[in-house]
Chains A and B, each alone.
Chain A
């Protein structure tokens, strides 16, 4: 082969190789980093596989927070969209704005017993501000309730 052609071949090969690596990395990255958001209602409806990495959002149910008398740093609470409740277990330090009756977003997975094992708890940095995710979850639950009420 001519050297010019050879050079072109190398360039084309390296571009193809580079693109393949890039696409491969992108797929891996999205697999690892992507969290789909679910509401408590959707989880009770069985839309989530056990151990699937997800995010859930809702309100922290009043009176559900247990922080004393548990092992180590473990805490338990219930998150609700006022239609369905999901118990949440977390080990670690809660964010400053976490409190009962406020919105919360948690990242983790649902175990075999239907308990959400949170790896990370997020509460937003403004009391008046509700996370768009939580807001949407509550609105969706309300719509379902309304629709359910009519059919009954």
Chain B
């Protein structure tokens, strides 16, 4: 009964979304206020029914209703309750349901939070979002219904959730990532509305900015969680593999970052308008491309689940309709929203343009690397397969990011319209010298090795971080006190600086981990030990241990630091009972300046095992940096000027009255 209720709720949501896609849009064109106003209750309705459908699927999971095919494939009575709930989005059908629920949530959020928005724009935005919802709901009901039943041959026991997904990081990772992917649909819908009306002004940019920031923040957290999961759950000790599916989540992030900066220029200076619109379209299109690549299995990757050509074709059609349609509209209407203002040399606009170009070029190189195997196969036939490995991406991406990090430091000190070189040099000369000198000296003192790339990374990170500090120092200089100065700065300014600080921390984390990690795969017999730096790892042997739904070979490794006992680590090799899958469970001792990483390989006879032991300096900083960026995103959203526009207008009236009274 409950699964049918969920199925029915999905159909109702589709009906309401269809109405929402048509009536507000038609109303906006014909000036029918009533039809336009329909968008608010309709989006609430879509949201409620999507929530109901989601609740029904969750209910089926929690009650082990294995007559639902999706539940039977992805759950098990032995599965801990928490993972039963997370299993709702553990495979294709359920994660698609989550995707549409999140889309409906964003739509509903826009409808209730955008009170300032002119009704005709809101109606168009909501219609575009509903159109996307309709597309995905048809796809879901047609090819991947999560409520499909197996009433005749109901299995007594489910096949269990993929053990790789039985982990906290990965239960939170997909919802966060989807919030980001789908969140870009808001910026996309605003862009389409702007193209339709031809109105693209500072107010439009101001409405779009917080939504874009929000989506970007979620995507940042989602990607960081994914990379964190890969680090401790896959058991390889790496945190980024340039896997196609990582790439497709990274591309919308890069374009989203470009969009955030381009929106800032559009709001403040009224330029880059059509460019901003194009970026908004690109960010969401790349998100959809990500969904397509993950779902269709056109590219083999660790994530490519649910390989089904029919689904792939439907998704591809949907993708082409949305991307093709929006680009067609852009081609027709982009001249209408062209910017008129000008800007001179060395202005902040110019540096932000550099930033945008670098981000877009990076995205293009990643796109090329990701799709190249497909292109190659299409040209040379199926028998000639190639793959593009991490060296390709590193060779292109790392220098691009180095250039961008340099310009990031410059642009903070540049001014809108025009900045004199003299002004820039006055501010940046000392900073540049300090970061170059410290960047060379610090690694040399700490490691006693001359490592140019680590030094460059250090110098760039210092360049950004010192720039942030110096800029805040300068901006608070003319106030009565420093505290007053700090108070007078806006939250969006703090958000920007926090995110930029995050970039510096991330650069340090990435580069220092890559250059100074020590990684050993060693065969160790019981009581044999391995020394890395200050740490000695003593392998004590392996014992069997039983978990709730698995049996584990659990190793005991005593770690000595400078000859004294430091801690004991227990990396495991688990065999999950339901599927018989084997899963490496690394044991990581996380530290601010270094992580100790141990993972168990395979047995090599006489109690000896191959053990993977890494000492990874600064790896924590990678996620710290991502966290700072996300925190910056949230801080910027909280800025009052996104919310108090109406209040300010009202406040202006008594002020005028007072003025006339004084006269």
Which residues of A come within 8 Å of B, CB atoms? 22, 25-26, 28-30, 32-37, 55, 67-70, 72-73, 75, 91-94, 96-97, 107, 124-127, 129, 131-133, 136, 140
**Contacts A129-B307, A131-B300 given; does A93 touch B612 at CB 8 Å:** yes
Cβ-based interface call for B223 (8 A): no
Say whether, besides A72-B523, A133-B300, A107 and B383 are in contact (CB < 8 Å).
no
Partner of A92, one of B382, B384, B521: B521
Answer whether A94 and B601 are a contact pair too, CB < 8 Å, given A35-B389, A37-B386. Answer: yes
How far does the Cβ of A108 sit from chain B's closest Cβ, in whole Å? 12
Contact bitstring B385-400, A, C-beta under 8 A = 1, else 0: 1111111110110010
CB contact between B300 and one of A36, A69, A132 (< 8 Å): that residue: A132
How many of chain B's residues have a CB under 8 angstroms from any CB in A? 45
Q: Do residues B385 and A37 form an inter-chain contact, with CB atoms below 8 A?
A: yes
Query: Could you tell me if A33 and B389 are in contact, using CB atoms closer than 8 angstroms?
Result: yes
Contact across chains for A136 and B382 when beta carbons are under 8 A apart: yes
Interface of A, secondary structure class, is mixed
20 more A-B residue pairs beyond the given contacts A34-B387, A36-B384, A75-B602, with a C-beta to C-beta distance below 8 A: A25-B399, A26-B365, A33-B393, A33-B395, A34-B386, A34-B388, A35-B389, A37-B387, A55-B387, A67-B602, A68-B605, A92-B521, A96-B573, A97-B582, A124-B300, A125-B164, A127-B579, A129-B307, A131-B300, A133-B385
Give complex CA distance A126, B304 in Å.
Answer: 10
- State the 6 A-B residue pairs at the shortest beta-carbon distance, nearest first: A33-B392, A93-B601, A37-B385, A32-B391, A29-B395, A68-B605
Tell me if B143 counts as interface (CB < 8 A to partner A): no
Q: Which residues of A contact B361 (CB under 8 A)?
A: 22
| Interface check B151, CB cutoff 8 A | no
- Is B610 located at the chain interface by the 8 A CB criterion? yes
Bound together, the chains give a CA A30 to CA B372 distance in angstroms of: 10
Q: By the criterion CB–CB under 8 Å, are A127 and B581 in contact?
A: yes
B369 contacts A by Cβ under 8 Å: yes
What are 29 A-B pairs with beta-carbon distances under 8 A?
Answer: A25-B395, A28-B395, A29-B392, A32-B389, A32-B395, A33-B390, A33-B391, A34-B392, A36-B384, A37-B384, A55-B385, A55-B387, A67-B602, A67-B603, A72-B522, A72-B523, A73-B522, A92-B521, A92-B601, A93-B235, A96-B582, A97-B582, A124-B300, A125-B164, A126-B162, A127-B580, A132-B297, A133-B385, A136-B383
CB-nearest residue of chain B relative to A37? Answer: B385
B302 proximal to A (CB < 8 A): yes
B10: Cβ under 8 A from any A Cβ: no
Distance (Å) between the CB of A68 and the closest chain B CB?
4
- Could you tell me which residues of chain B, from 601 to 621, have a CB within 8 Å of some CB in chain A? 601-605, 610, 612
Task: A107 to B385: give the CA distance in the assembly, Å.
Answer: 13
Pairwise interchain contact A93-B599, C-beta atoms closer than 8 A: yes
Grouping DSSP codes into helix (H, G, I), strand (E, B) and loop, the B interface class, with mixed when no group exceeds half, is: mixed
- Write the chain A residue with the least CB distance to B305: A126
Q: Which residues of A contact B573 (CB under 8 A)?
A: 96
User: Pick the contact of B605 from A22, A36, A69 — CB < 8 Å?
Assistant: A69
The interface residues of chain A lying within 8 Å CB-to-CB of B369 are 29, 33
Task: Name A29's contact: one of B384, B396, B601, B603 (CB within 8 Å).
Answer: B396
The answer, yes or no, to whether B584 is at the interface (CB within 8 Å) is: yes
Please indicate the chain A residues that have their CB under 8 angstroms from the CB of B396 in the complex: 25-26, 29
**Residues of chain B at the chain A interface (Cβ within 8 Å):** 162, 164, 235, 297, 300, 302, 305, 307, 361, 365, 369, 372, 382-393, 395-396, 399, 521-523, 573, 579-584, 599, 601-605, 610, 612
Using Cβ atoms and an 8 Å threshold, which residues of chain B touch A93? 235, 521, 599, 601-602, 610, 612
Chain B residues in 8 Å Cβ range of A35: 386-389
Which residues of the other chain, B, contact A37 by a CB distance below 8 angstroms?
Answer: 384-387
Chain B residues lying within 8 Å of A73, measured Cβ to Cβ, are 521-523, 601, 604, 610
CB-CB nearest in chain B for A125: B302
Provide the bound-state CA to CA distance between A34 and B390, in Å.
Answer: 9
Smallest beta-carbon distance A49→chain B, Å = 16
Q: Bound complex: CA of A36 vs CA of B373, how far in Å?
A: 10
Complex: how many Å from CA A72 to CA B383?
Answer: 37
Contact A96 B584 (CB under 8 A): yes
Which residues of chain B have C-beta atoms less than 8 A from A72's C-beta?
Answer: 522-523
Q: How far is the CA of A96 from the CA of B585 in the complex (A)?
A: 10
Asked if residues B388 and A33 are in contact (CB atoms below 8 Å), the reply is yes
Q: How far is the CB of B228 from chain A (nearest CB, A)?
A: 18
- Chain B residue contacts of A70, Cβ below 8 A: 604
Q: Please tell me if the beta carbons of A34 and B610 are within 8 angstroms of each other in the complex.
A: no
Residues of A within 8 A of B162 (CB): 125-126
Distance between B297 CB and nearest chain A CB, rounded to angstroms: 8
In the complex, residue of chain B having the shortest beta-carbon distance to the beta carbon of A21: B399
A35 to chain B, nearest CB (A): 5
CB of B389 within 8 A of CB of A34, answer yes
Chain A contacts for B581, CB-based, 8 A: 96-97, 127
In the bound assembly, the distance between CA atoms of A28 and B391 in angstroms comes to 10
B399 surroundings in chain A (CB, below 8 A): 25
Do A36 and B386 touch (CB < 8 A)? yes
A33 to B580 alpha-carbon distance, docked (Å): 35
Min C-beta distance of B73 to chain A, whole Å: 11
